[in-house]
Amino acid sequence: MESKAAGLEVRGGAPGSARSAVRPLTFAAAVLYGLLIAFNVALHAWIVNADMWVRLASGRLVVDKHIIPRHDPFTFTARGHAWIDHEWLLGAAMYALNRVSFELLVVVAAIAAILPFWLMHRLVTKDRADDWLLLALSGFAVLVSWRAYAIRPQLVNPILFVALVWLIDDRRRTGSGRIWWVVPFTLIWANLQAGFLVSIAVLAAWAAVCLYERRDRRLSLSVFAAACAVPLLNAYGYELYRYSLLASLSDNTDRALVTEWRSPDFHDYLNLPALGGVALIAYFGARSQDLFRRVLGLGTLAASLISARFVPFFALSLLYAVGPQLPRIAMPRVFGRALVLAVPTLVLLVGWGAIATAGNDPPTDHAPVEGLRYLRANAPDARVYADQSFGSYMTWAGWPTFFDTRTHQVFPEQLVSDYHKVERTRGDWLAVLEAWRIDYVMATPDSDLAEAMDGAHWPRVFEGSTEVIWQRPDGLTE
């Protein structure tokens, strides 16, 4: 049965009933994801996150010196302390790409950010005809997690998450024996990023659903047990498990102070897409006829409300749980023809413009390049406190720093606490500078620390385009 309303053709029935819409919609999906990748290229070409500098520095150790990092070589506060670099392999890949060309690293990161949404979109459309409403939901899911698209190794986690869900979904639909691929898959994930704990959680949810539904009980428990064991085969052994569990579940300083570890701030209008996703999953997710989809959707919703780091998994689960419940809508041909002409042109223009204006090296517009030049000329052995953004660039530039974005990978809890005291000028923050014999403090001119340093009567000795440097009043420490 077919009905027409408001110029849209709404089709229902068995999968394939909208077969005539598949070809233009497949093309539309391709150009949508191409457009999203192009915009990501444009964004990454000019915006560099602090964590990228540390990953490039660790990758340089692996590629150039053939060292898997085990002890900190970068700071004067934690030098020699055990370092669980759970991203060492991806850091090496990032460094290798950047050594060829920063533009190449940008393009790979942009593709990695969008790829999981395309994969999940294809998974949802396996048993039904493609439609415009589902494509719109895919685009919306991308917006829900847009803040997670920085050039970081974590970009691999959503891709691996979708691959895992694909294997479980295939088992539930067809009884495929490929579910055992999950075991080597989890091993690979554990050697790429500490986010492999997500795979353990997803497999635990699948096993619980199997027990409730009284099917695949032994299989699901066996796969889950094997997947829990194989991550021990990594460069750090059980220490990786310990670090991952403590970083994710313990009540540490970072969880209290670092924005991405806290709950999403829905007072920030930029998080409104995530709030819309919460409403969608709360309404549709609980109504899914597939229990695994329901558990995955509501489970990732709960995790994302606890910590913003889990929002990308929630966005993908939103597409997985809600997508099958949407009505199927085919768009009028005239709109499809206009799309064929307009969107590829826009993709090419955005992509070309981004690559043409990007440099061969990462942009340093927000890095303390001038400040480091001053310090090298005037105090090459000085102890410098800088926030973790500046500190991460200093790590890449080869200057021993107080702190960088590795946080609990290497820094003891007390040192993390000391860093945040100074950064936020709370408690005995001046005593922290004294205890660590800090010679210079470097901060952005509009930060709270900058105002506090002037009030503490440390003289300003340098002002650059992005940084201000203060020297301790009684000169350098011995």
How large is the average pLDDT for residues 363-387? 91
Specify the higher pLDDT residue, 319 or 41.
Answer: 319
Return the minimum-mean-pLDDT range out of 1-5, 149-153, 439-443. Answer: 1-5
Looking at the fold, whether 40 and 114 belong to one and the same domain comes out as yes
pLDDT tens for each residue of 262-286: 788 777 777 788 888 888 888 887 7
pLDDT at 255: 66
Instruction: Give the integer Cα–Cα distance in Å for 118 and 210.
Output: 28
Any idea what DSSP says for residue 233? Answer: S
Residue 83 confidence (pLDDT) above 80 = yes
Strand, helix or coil at 384? strand
pLDDT at 362: 74
pLDDT at 1: 35
Looking at the fold, whether 297 and 409 belong to one and the same domain comes out as no
How large is the average pLDDT for residues 344-369? 65
Looking at the fold, whether 151 and 10 belong to one and the same domain comes out as yes
Looking at the fold, whether 110 and 251 belong to one and the same domain comes out as yes
Specify the higher pLDDT residue, 250 or 216.
Answer: 216
Q: Is residue 424 part of a domain?
A: yes
Kindly indicate the confidence band of residue 19, based on its pLDDT and cuts at 50, 70 and 90: very low
Amino acid at 18: A
Residue 44 confidence (pLDDT) above 80 = no
Q: Please answer whether residues 281 and 321 qualify as being in contact, where contact means their C-beta atoms are separated by less than 8 angstroms.
A: yes
Residue 21 confidence (pLDDT) above 70 = no
pLDDT at 271: 78
How large is the average pLDDT for residues 36-46? 67
Looking at the fold, whether 225 and 303 belong to one and the same domain comes out as yes
Total structural domains within the chain:
2
Looking at the fold, whether 384 and 320 belong to one and the same domain comes out as no
In the sheet that holds 328-330, the strands lie side by side as 2-5, 8-11, 328-330
Instruction: Name the one residue in this structure whose structure tokens are 């991952």.
Output: 244
How large is the average pLDDT for residues 74-86? 94
Provide the percentage of residues in the chain whose pLDDT is more than 90.
Answer: 51
pLDDT at 370: 95
Instruction: Name the one residue in this structure whose structure tokens are 């889950």.
Output: 224
Q: Is residue 74 part of a domain?
A: no
Residue 397 confidence (pLDDT) above 70 = yes
Q: Is residue 359 part of a domain?
A: no
Domain boundary among 270, 305, 333: 333
Domain boundary among 281, 315, 333: 333
pLDDT at 192: 93
Looking at the fold, whether 295 and 427 belong to one and the same domain comes out as no
Return the minimum-mean-pLDDT range out of 12-16, 177-181, 248-252, 371-375. Answer: 12-16
pLDDT at 6: 35
Looking at the fold, whether 151 and 30 belong to one and the same domain comes out as yes
Helix, strand, coil percentages, rounded to 5, for the chain? 65, 5, 30
Domain boundary among 310, 333, 356: 333
Domain that holds residue 258: 2-47+101-333
Q: Is residue 84 part of a domain?
A: no
Q: Please answer whether residues 266 and 272 qualify as being in contact, where contact means their C-beta atoms are separated by less than 8 angstroms.
A: yes
Q: Is residue 407 part of a domain?
A: yes
Q: Is residue 42 part of a domain?
A: yes
Q: Is residue 387 part of a domain?
A: yes
Looking at the fold, whether 300 and 411 belong to one and the same domain comes out as no
CB atoms within 10 A of CB 346: 14
Looking at the fold, whether 324 and 440 belong to one and the same domain comes out as no
Looking at the fold, whether 313 and 454 belong to one and the same domain comes out as no
Residue 470 confidence (pLDDT) above 90 = yes
pLDDT tens for each residue of 91-128: 999 999 999 888 888 888 888 888 899 899 989 987 66
pLDDT at 16: 44
Looking at the fold, whether 41 and 162 belong to one and the same domain comes out as yes
Kindly indicate the confidence band of residue 15, based on its pLDDT and cuts at 50, 70 and 90: very low
Q: Is residue 130 part of a domain?
A: yes
Residue 403 confidence (pLDDT) above 70 = yes
pLDDT tens for each residue of 410-437: 998 899 999 999 999 999 999 999 999 9
